[in-house]
Structures are given as C-alpha cells and as structure tokens.
Structure 1
Amino acid sequence: MRKPPGYWQNWDNALKELKPICEELGRFPSQTELNKKGYKTLARAISKNFGGTEKVAKKCGYDTYDQSIGRKMLGYWTFEQTVKEYLFYIEFNELTFYPTKNELIHNGKHDMYGSIQKHGGYQKFKDVLKETYNFVLDEHPPREIKWNFEKAKDELFKVYQKVGYIPTSGELDKMGLQSLRGAIDQRGGVKPFASALGLQTKAETLGIKGSGYWKNIENVKKELVPVIKQLGHFPSYTELKMLQRIDILGSFKYYKGIENTAILLGHTYEPKTQMRTLDGHFVRSTYEVILDNFFFINDISHETEGLINKEGNNRFMYDFRVKDLNNNFVHFEIWGYRKGSNQSEIESQYNAKRKIKEEVYKKNNLTLVSLEEYLFNKDFDQIYDYLVEVCIKHNIKTTGFNYDGNYLELLVYNIYSIQDLYEDLKPYIKENNGYMPTANFLRNKKREDLVERLLRFGGFVVFREKFKLKETPRTNKWSSDDFFLKELLPLCEKLERLPTSTELLELNRGDLLGAIYRRGGFQKVSDELGILTKTAYNKKKQ
C-alpha cells in the first residue's frame, strides 16, 4: 500500500517498519534485503533522510550486515589504519620479511592489499614505512642454510620432541626426512648426535634384553604390572611413550597389537573412551588429564570446555579456564599440531581453525596460554616445572605448589566407557517409556552432564543405533495454543515483555523460538498477545 506524502520523513514511521525486520533477522537489514522485501522506499529514506545504514542501525541498537560478518565499514581503510593492520599482521605471523601480494591474498587479506594499492602501491607503502616509521624488513624469506652439525642436531631434536625417541636412519627416511638422514650419516651416524643432545638412541631407549625376551607374555606382564598398578588402568600408547617405555610398546607387535595384548593379560583397552580425572572432570586425552590433575593437586580451581565468548558467530570452546589472583580469567588451550605446520591436509585444516580461534581470544582481549603437544613428550619433571612457571608468570598461583615426586599421579584417571554411559542413562530410558531420551528431556532432568557425554561419544544418533534404542516419537504439541502459552507466558511475566531470540537461545529454548517463528515471528505474536517486544518495551520505559 502506498504511503501518504511525507510518511518516510518521520523517524517514528521508519522505526515502526524496521522493528519487525530487525527482530526477524537479529540484526539490521542490508539495502539489498530491504529491496527484496519490497521496502525500496524505506531503503531510500534511510540513506536520504536519516544519515545512512550505519547511523540508523546504531540508533536502532543493531549491528549492520557487514558488522555481523566482520566486514570493515566504508571509510575504514585510511592510510593510518592500513599501516596498523599491516604491522599487526607482521607481528601476529612473526615475519622477518615483507609478505608478498600472493601471501596476503592467500591469507584472506584482500581488503588490506587493496588499500595498499589504493595508497600508491606496495613499493611506495614500504618506502613510507621506512621513512616515516623507521620500519624495515628483509625483502625475501631467509634462505635455508646448508647442513652443518648444529643444524642437523637441532632438526633431530625437533623429531625427538615429536616422537619421543631418537629414530633410526630407516625411520627418518619413512618420515620423509632423507636430507636430515643424509646429513647425520655424513657425520658419523645417529650416536654422536644423541650424545651431543644428552639423549639415548632408540636401541639404548629400548634396553638390552635377551633374545626372545619380549616374545614371552610373562615378561610383558612383569614389565606392565607396576605401570598398571600406579595408573589404575591399562596404559595407552601415549602414556607408555610419555613414560619412556618404548620397549613395552615394541612388544605389542608379537601379540597382534595393544588391544589384544591387554586381553591376553586379563585387561581391557578402550582407546575411544572418556577419562575421569582426580577431581571428577571428564576429558578426552591424556594431555588434558595431566593438566586437569596438575590444577587439582595444586588447589587451582578450574573449568573445562565452556564457551570462549557467548556472543558472535564463532562459538568456540576453551579447553580449560582458571582465575588469576586478581580474579581475571586465564584460558588454556592444548594444541594437537605444531603452529603453522601444513605437512598434511588435516594439519592445514587444524591450524586454519586454530588461527581463527586465537583471533577470537585476541578480539575479546582474553588471556590465552597455548600448550603445544610436544610439551607433553618431555619428562614429567620438565612438564611439571613448565606448568609451575606458567602459573607464576600469569599470577594464577605464586607459591605453595604441592608435589611429592610421584609423577604418575598426574596420569591417574578412571576410564569412563560408552557402556558406563549406557548404565547412567538406563533410568531415563525407562522413564521415557523405553525410548532414547532427547537432549531437552535430559536437560529438564538437570542432567546437562549426560548430554555433554553423549556428544563426546559421537552424539545421540550414534548412541541410539549402537544400543538399538527407538527414537522418541515426535509430537506436534507446539501447534496447541494452550501449550505454547504455558511455555511462553512464565518467561514474559519474568521479563515483563517478550524474550528475544538471543535470550531464548541462551536458555536452551530453541524449541520455543521455533514455535514463535512458525506463528509469524515476534511482532505478530506481540500483536496477538498484547505483550511488548524488547524494542517497544525499552522505548516505553524511556
């Protein structure tokens, strides 16, 4: 319907038309979206009468589309801002040379490079950096130096940190490190390098045993008994490597692998299990067990796997979170691959996600402690000392660290298998008439912990199929007005208005949010029930 003359010059009219659109999208609409919805005159009025999209969006209390996806606004790329972003990129990536055009574009910096070109080109930009900011880098990446003893020794130590022992020449070849193997062979073989590093060769690590020693299962049992007794469970591959028991690991090949060896010795080996730490937390890896137990035995209160930031699109989970002595949060991440490594597609994908996650921490001004995987391949006293240093450095705890020298205490955990989870779920399956309980069912029973464990074991569908449970029958209860009002009105009474989509999601009420959308959206529900939306409520309160 055509609006009367002067209609779009009145701000109240524009706000009235914009409210339901903003509430539906959860942000301010773009010009394209307004045009597609038939609001071309409103789109023109925003630009002509009210100062433009960014100004109107801010006045309405919403992010624009560009802001919601992290895109820079018009006028952002001034020369000074370009310099600031460029220097941040250099520092973040620890570069000692100027990145090329292709490198910038490959890493998603099209807008930055475009701004550099706009301000006179890359060479002029570098000249200004030198003249104005006295900032100079190498024009090209440093060339790789030829092999010498020190370089070969350093590279061999990196391999040791990764695999936990000094590998043989044949193993270096299998790892694709033929050039390193050649450099070592030309200088007397592995042994002089191992001596220079103060480490044992693989043969020395394995120990000298009599011929056929490991082919006798009783000898394997004799070696494993003290380890199992102290750990409280059959050790994993990672644990044996960390305990420097490569010799035991090597024996498993005679008994068709680690799992079959465990069975022959009267134990079970379940690699895909959750681990219950000393304080009852459930974690996924041995490395997380060590860190969790370190916090526990040192009386450092800690949380596991919560949202880094509840706002925004990137809803990443932290590994651990503690508070320092000033009551500020410090986050810990245990990374599975070395930063910047791209030797495989998996590593490349992992590090791309890691980079985004680190940027989330930086954007939200949060303190992050990064623990690399190779840290946990060191001796236990080195791991412990490093964690103590981290706590002191970040003012988490400065004195009174409790440790009696029993390194294995850091590894003690109880295996929590999928069968244990099934036993915990049995009462709720029975209460749900034999059907697999839903996430909402368990949450209503205050068992969010069971929901999290189900997700860690692959999700509800995987669990349901493994134990041959039937899916809870779906009902159309939300089509009932009585049921809808029963669920909605208590929230409205508490808030004195309709809840927003964000508030419903934070309350885990996606079911109620979906019902509102199926009934025409927030504005329609507001009109039908006579209950104000948040925007209308705030305006009325002013």
Structure 2
Amino acid sequence: MDIKYLSTTALSKELQLPAKEVFKLLSDNGLVRRMDDNWLLTELGKNKGGVIKSHPRYGSYIAWTEEFKQDEIFTSKEEEKNLLTSTALGKHFGISKFRINPILSELGLVQKSVKGWTVTPLGKLVGGKQLEYDKTGVPYVCWKSSILTRSRIINALKEAKGDSIEEKNEVQEKETIGFREKFEATHRSADGHYVRSRAEMLIDNWLYMSEIVHAYERKLPVEEDVYCDFYLPVGKVYIEYWGLENDPRYLHRKSEKLRVYKKYEFNLIELNDADIQNLDDILPKKLLRFGIQAY
C-alpha cells in the first residue's frame, strides 16, 4: 500500500494551524532545524516519518506521513490547558510540588534530565505529555486528569504522605495471603529485610553489601496486582528470583508476572538457583546492562 505524504504546508492545513506555528512545533521538538533561509530535516524528524521530496517547480521540501498529524506534539492549546502540572498534582494530594516528580520517578513514570524532567514510555501510557518551557527549553511533564483515577499512583502518593492504604479486593487479598502464609518471610537479611527464602536473603545481602539501594516486594507501578522480588530505584530495575520451578501454580504465577514485565517493557533481571551460587559473577554483568555499576 502506497504511503501518503503531506508537505508541511499541507500538514498545517490538515491541523488547521498556521504554517509558521507548525514549523515552530517541529523545530521546538527537534524534528527540523533552520539553516539560513531553509528548513532541514533532522535524524529525529526522519525517525518520526519525515522524508525529503522533490517537486519540478518548487524544488526540495519536507513531507510527513499522513498519520503524523496524530502525533502528540500537536496537542491542542485547549487540551494543554486541561493538563495537570506537578504543582497541580501536589495541591490535589497535599504534597509539596518538589516531591511529586521524585515520587513519579520512583514509579518509573518520569526520569530526571540534565535540567527538568522527561516522560518515560510507561508515563506516556498513563497520560503523561512532554512539554518544555518556551524561554528556557527546560523539559517538564504534564498529565491528563485520568491520572487521578489510577489506583497505583494514588496509593503511592498516599504512601509518601504516610496515609493508610485501602485493602485490595477480596479475591486478590486471598491469593496474596495464601502465597505469603505458605512462604512466610522468616529469613532476616543484613539490612533488616525479612525475606521468604535463603536465596532471597543472599540476593538482598549482596545488594546491601554492594551499596545498591533496593526495595523488597515492591508493587509494580501498574494496575495489575503484581509484586516484584526486588526493585532498584537507580536504573528502574526489577529482580525476580525463580525458585519453585516444579510447582504448577508457581509456574502459572511466574508466567503471569513475565507477561506484565513484557507488556510494560520494564527492566528485568531474572535469577535462578544456579545463579545464586555465583552472584559475584552473575549480578554485576546483569546490572551493568542497565547502567548500574556494582563495584
């Protein structure tokens, strides 16, 4: 099927925006750049589907796929007005605006830039929009109002305030309690965490002795009721130790967890029994893939 392309002028007509404003949006987002009196297509613009076309009368020009008009950079000014800033989120939840982005970062929704904050792929899924200040170019993230209905985000912000969290529904609660009753956290690691097996204790101790900040049994920042074994805020990395490989119920649970990790493209390190005996060799290599240096 032939791909239909629109010149930037034709694109502006489709968007019902002045051509000058469309070029500014493209330039502000790094898709084109000005050189002398000409607009040049950048590599980022090519990745967005931009191409160079030639016309016998008008010469070379930049064109875009028809689908490009749906791109998020063309968020209407009216829609932009309804987006929530970190300050607005802070007021809604009664949290300082300076704490909001670090909390959202811990959830994997934003990440710290050289200056400002940028939205992650997961952040985009929950309604995050990447913007930047006109005068400084510093990036920041705003949110659709639907973020106020996301239970995982609501609970994380409540936890940050020290508020109590409502219990899960009965089915989820029974399943969670059943697993935790069967495998009680009786192994105390060096940093004080109580974990559910000797293997988890060895992993926890290794992370602690390597001075790597980590959480144990942290809920994933998604609506699915899934908990990881370990979470490393630096690098946004999750660690799963797979133990009971001969238990059908455990294998089903493992399959469901892997489905969620894949769905949200989370950084995941998987460990098994053989790895536990050789953590000093295995873990540093796996962590380095995500930019975490152990030694």
Higher relative contact order structure (alpha carbons within 8 Å, sequence separation ≥ 6) = 1
TM-score (norm: length of structure 2): 0.36
Select the structure that is richer in strand.
Answer: 2
Larger Rg belongs to: 1
